[in-house]
């Protein structure tokens, strides 16, 4: 896809733009002026949760910026939404208002912007801030959209028939537990559950011995839909506010016993971690790509999940990395990258997820969260879970520290990162989604 075919580009994506915030102009920052993600933060001296925008190593306090007149006048719904303690009201705005806010922020933060002194007084160093959940999440749905992940895990259970027939016709999903979603940095407490050990006749109630991560992309719903009103695929992307990193922590031994016949439950609901910054749909415009080309032998797409626009530009080119930091590595200030994968390999697009979710009339709400499902690629280095990386523990990972891992041990920390790159544009990142395993007290 060349520049001429990319849609949604405007002056905010100009690679020549620089910011008067110096840290936003480095090649390593996740948050150049071309990104401008939203999050919720507080500080030790002001514990009020409020909306911020990441710019380099700083956070622009939007409530303070509007209060002191440092930002241009915008419609009252926009100003009101920027004064809340969660992003739900901002997510509920129409796309024109969100784009107007993004444009105003871009112009105010550019190196040639006039009167930057007042806006500079509204900056807060990221290292001195506490990040909170970006939205009040009422509903959480986790999808299963990687054909590589589906084939890898399916072969472990059904070697001769790894994919169910419906995988090619719809993006499979289940309803997750919204109450246990937490922001990056929240410890992962090793859960108990019923486990049927190999060779045993009955399950036992015990601590999980197969604690795993799953690398996923989180998708925040913007404007929702009324009950009974499906969202056509042509409109689906207009209902997406933005994206975060998501770790769908999983207890594989619990999952193995409980998942038949209704699928995941307690093996997933003990914790889901997300990164604190929400990268908007608009920021990702330069990194759109074609959807995955379907195999010629695959069944034709059901009509409501197909469109020319989705085929040509429904994908998003995001590169992910998973790092593991053990207690030994932490003492040596090291970590090991154990996986690299790309979102453009997902079999189903975000638009198809939205459309399928609502095709029966199910209503989505601003701030609802969707998980993409594990992001795995075609090679052995592109696997988004230890279940795949170690073949369910049969081939343990050898780490640079001399340690081995079949599954996660207490003290291990998992760090997810994501980045978008495209020649001719400025690279943007997602920050990180991190969590450390801790034993259950008592």
Residue 192 annotated to the active site? no
CA nearest to 406, candidates 417, 395, 414, 422: 395
The answer to whether the Cα torsion of 216, 219, 225, 230 is positive or negative is negative
Q: How many residues does the chain have?
A: 442
Distance between CA atoms of residues 268 and 316, nearest Å: 26
197: Cα within 13 Å, side-chain hemisphere: 7
Q: Which residues contact 201 (CB under 8 A, 6 or more apart)?
A: none
Structural tokens at position 149 = 């992940």
Q: How far apart are CA 58 and CA 370, in angstroms?
A: 28
Task: Round to whole Å and give the CA distance between 240 and 219.
Answer: 7
Q: Residues with Cβ < 8 Å from 374, sequence gap 6 or more?
A: 144, 146, 149, 214, 215, 216, 248, 384, 385, 388
Report the helix count and the strand count for the chain, using DSSP H and E.
Answer: 12, 26
The CB density around residue 342, as the number of other CB atoms within 10 Å, is: 17
Q: Which of 149, 168, 356, 357 does the annotation list as catalytic?
A: 149
Structure tokens at 203: 């399950």
Q: Which of 69, 82, 79 lies closest to 38, judged by CA?
A: 82
How far are the Cα atoms of 32, 105, 263, 278 from residue 22, in angstroms, in the given order? 10, 16, 49, 22
- Residues facing residue 325 across a β-bridge: 413
Q: Are residues 244 and 218 in contact, defined by beta-carbon separation less than 8 angstroms?
A: yes
How far is 139 from 366, CA to CA, in rounded Å?
Answer: 10
383 CB-contact burial (10 Å; exposed 0-12 / middle 13-18 / buried 19+): buried
Positions of E strands within 149-203: 172-175, 181-183, 188-189, 192-195
CA 148/CA 387 separation, integer angstroms: 13
Q: Report, as residue numbers or ranges, the catalytic residues.
A: 149
């Amino acid at each position: 896809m060349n520049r001429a075919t990319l849609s949604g580009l405007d002056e905010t994506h100009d690679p020549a733009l620089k910011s008067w915030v110096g840290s936003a102009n480095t090649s390593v920052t996740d948050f150049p002026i071309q990104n401008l993600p939203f999050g919720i933060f507080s500080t030790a001296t002001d514990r009020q949760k409020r909306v911020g925008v990441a710019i380099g190593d700083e956070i622009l306090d939007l409530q303070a910026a509007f209060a002191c007149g440092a930002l241009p006048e915008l419609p009252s719904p926009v100003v009101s939404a920027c004064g809340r303690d969660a992003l739900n009201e901002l997510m509920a705005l129409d796309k024109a208002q969100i784009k107007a806010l993004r444009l105003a922020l871009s112009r105010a933060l550019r190196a040639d912007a006039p009167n930057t002194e007042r806006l500079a007084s509204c900056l807060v160093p990221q290292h001195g801030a506490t990040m909170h959940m970006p939205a009040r999440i009422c509903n959480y749905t986790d999808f299963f959209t990687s054909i590589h992940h589906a084939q890898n895990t399916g072969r472990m259970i059904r070697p001769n028939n790894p994919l169910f027939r419906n995988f090619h016709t719809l993006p499979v999903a289940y309803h997750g537990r919204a109450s246990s979603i937490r922001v990056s940095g929240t410890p992962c407490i090793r859960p108990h559950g019923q486990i049927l050990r190999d060779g045993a006749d009955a399950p036992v109630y015990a601590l999980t011995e197969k604690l795993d991560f799953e690398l996923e992309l989180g998708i925040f719903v913007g404007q929702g839909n009324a009950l009974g009103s499906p969202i056509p695929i042509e409109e689906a992307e207009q209902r997406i506010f933005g994206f975060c990193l998501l770790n769908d922590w999983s207890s594989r031994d619990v999952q193995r016993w409980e998942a038949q016949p209704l699928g995941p439950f307690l093996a997933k609901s003990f914790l889901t971690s997300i990164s604190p910054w929400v990268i908007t749909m608009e920021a990702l415009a330069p990194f759109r790509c074609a959807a995955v080309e379907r195999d010629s032998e695959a069944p034709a797409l059901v009509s409501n999940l197909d469109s020319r626009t989705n085929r040509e530009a429904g994908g998003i080119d995001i590169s992910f990395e998973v790092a593991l930091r053990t207690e030994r590595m932490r003492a040596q200030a090291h970590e090991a990258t154990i996986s690299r994968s790309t979102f453009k390999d997902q079999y189903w697009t975000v638009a198809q997820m939205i459309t399928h979710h609502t095709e029966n009339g199910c209503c989505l709400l601003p701030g609802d969260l969707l998980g993409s499902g594990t992001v795995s690629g075609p090679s052995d280095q592109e696997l988004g879970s230890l279940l795949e990386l170690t073949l369910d523990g049969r081939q343990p990972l050898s780490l640079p520290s001399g340690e081995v891992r079949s599954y996660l041990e207490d003290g291990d920390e998992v760090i997810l990162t994501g980045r978008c790159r495209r020649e001719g544009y400025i690279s943007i990142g997602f920050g990180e989604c991190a969590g450390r395993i801790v034993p259950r007290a008592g």
